[in-house]
Amino acid sequence: MAKTSVVQDYQHPQRGATATLTNDEKIQREAIRNNIRRPKGFTVSYHANPEMEDMHFGRNHPMKPWRLTLTNKIVMSYGMHKAMNVYKPRRATPEEIGKFHKADYVDFLQNVMPGQNTYIPTTQTYMYGTGDDCPIFDGLWDYCSLYTGASLDAARKLTSNQSTIAINWSGGLHHAKKPEASGFCYINDIVLAILQLLLHHPRVLYIDIDVHHGDGVEQAFWSTDRVMTVSFHKYSPQDFFPGTGALVDTGPLNNSSPGAHHALNVPLNDGIDDDQYQQLFKDIIGPCVQIYQPTAIVIQCGADSLGGDRLGCFNLNVGAHGFCVQYVKNFRLPLLVLGGGGYTPRNVAKAWAYETSICIEADLHPNLPAHMPLLEHFKNEKTLFPKLDSAKYENKNSRVYLDSVVMGVHEQLRYLQGAPSVQMRWIPPDLAGLRGELEKELWVEKVKGEREGDEVD
């Protein structure tokens, strides 16, 4: 009796085919299923450095950079990366960061070590705003330079017309001040990105939908009319960080200052719902764009304004949060989309993935792809649109109150005498080197021509 192998190699009945799909094939099928393709007429870029995902503020700290891992897994599993230009940006240099932040503060961030005592007994404060909210952790400078580098890279892609929409979910840290850290934020990448945009754009509109007031960005541009800031946030000076952003806070008190009335605040109470928020956003952002006429828009999509957030107090669902991105995108202006707050990682990831789909005009199936890595971390909510408006917070925003807020913002817009004009009398630094090279080439050609003329004579 001939001996045969008990276990034989399985032969797939179709020649050249494999028994199971590879992960790439599953992603390709998911992309086809969701009709994901490169958008026509505009380009979207996605800026992400995987090194950001390894950072750790500390076990009990609410900021979890791991939320970026979940976001990227959802984006990749749906196949959305196939519709975008994906970049791994370089770190920002100390010189680039120093265009806004003070040199001594930048030097401190580069050299401070975990465990180093930064407490100042005489003033009972911590050096440069560090402490419980902004701890010194291993890799701090890498963290700062990575997310800032991504925002700068995204801004440059917009100014060079390589992208129409540029996304950096690791950015949007809006509390950092020129000389210090604040509210989990060390470097204000938003300010630096806007400064980059201002090299080419006369006016930039900054919109902030984080549950916390975008105080750092607002303060940075108080002295100019080339940036208008609009912040939608919970306002309660006594018990909610940072305690700023009242309706009457509209920039410098001196009306002769160019920045007067260019900082608009939309103070909200606990529990605002989807319908209220979407209507409010339209009623305010529409007139801002019409009157200010920005040539570029930056939107900070802090996801702590979602219902059920660990530090938030609104009752918004993913769809309402994404509505803001859709509304702004419809203006068809160069758009920089940034992350921000958000302290329930699974919900943050879903919101940012959904907003990525809005940018590429993809209509996603609500069920998270079964082949997605880390799917188990979403437990029983394996849908892109979980129910987050379970009224954890009582809605304290009456129709009368919201109408008064809209009226107050419209009143501030009346002070603006149309869109400010800008005379570009100086050459942006990024173009100075190119101009020098061109002038040198022209000079060489001129000298060469003169010599050839002399030889003919």
CB distance 383 to 107 below 8 Å: no
Q: With the CA atoms of 358, 169, 353 and 331 taken in that order, what torsion angle do they form, in degrees rounded to the nearest 10?
A: -10
Which uninterrupted H or E stretch holds 412? helix 399-413
Residues 6+ apart with CB under 8 A from 403: none
Of the candidates 77, 152, 68, 63, the residue with the CA atom closest to the CA atom of residue 369: 77
What gap in Å lies between CA 433 and CA 435, rounded to an integer? 5
Q: Is the peptide bond before 242 cis (omega within 30 degrees of 0)?
A: yes
What gap in Å lies between CA 20 and CA 236, rounded to an integer? 56
- Encode burial over 377-399: b for 16+ CB neighbours within 10 A, e otherwise: ebeeebebbbebbeeebeeebee
Cα separations (Å) of 297 from 160, 165, 342, 436?
A: 15, 10, 22, 31
- Supply 448's token pair: 């060469």
Active-site residue numbers? 213
- Supply 193's token pair: 């990105």
- Supply 329's token pair: 């995108």
CB distance 242 to 182 below 8 Å: yes
φ and ψ of 440, to 5 deg = -65, -45
- Encode burial over 36-56: b for 16+ CB neighbours within 10 A, e otherwise: beebeebbbbbbbbeebbebe
What gap in Å lies between CA 169 and CA 339, rounded to an integer? 4
What gap in Å lies between CA 149 and CA 157, rounded to an integer? 12
CB distance 193 to 340 below 8 Å: no
Of the candidates 204, 314, 329, the residue with the CA atom closest to the CA atom of residue 267: 314
Q: Which residues pair with 268 in a beta bridge?
A: 234
Angle in degrees, 0-180, between the axes of helices 23-33 and 66-78, rounded to the nearest 10: 70
Of the candidates 156, 8, 111, 80, the residue with the CA atom closest to the CA atom of residue 349: 80
By CB atoms closer than 10 A (0-12, 13-18, 19+), residue 60 is exposed
